[in-house]
Amino acid sequence: MLDNTKWNASKLLRRVVAGLEAGSPFAQVNFYDKESFSRPGAADLLDRIAAENDAVITAIGD
């Protein structure tokens, strides 16, 4: 889960995880935060996410 740091993004992502886990359990769910919603994710963060995960869900949270 990639939180873009908008005010409600974390709440939205946690609800998405709860809903998805109810239907199909995951081995592990990782959470990451961008430094700012107004800027792209740092290259090292995006590389780390790609290396550690099979899929990514992100949310705006407006």
Per-residue pLDDT of the chain (62 residues; tens, 9 = 90+): 999 888 888 898 999 989 888 888 777 889 999 999 999 999 999 999 999 999 998 877 77
Domain residues for the domain of 20 are 2-59
End-to-end Cα separation, the chain, in angstroms: 16
Report the number of distinct structural domains present in the chain: 1
Q: Looking at the whole model, is its pTM more than 0.85?
A: no
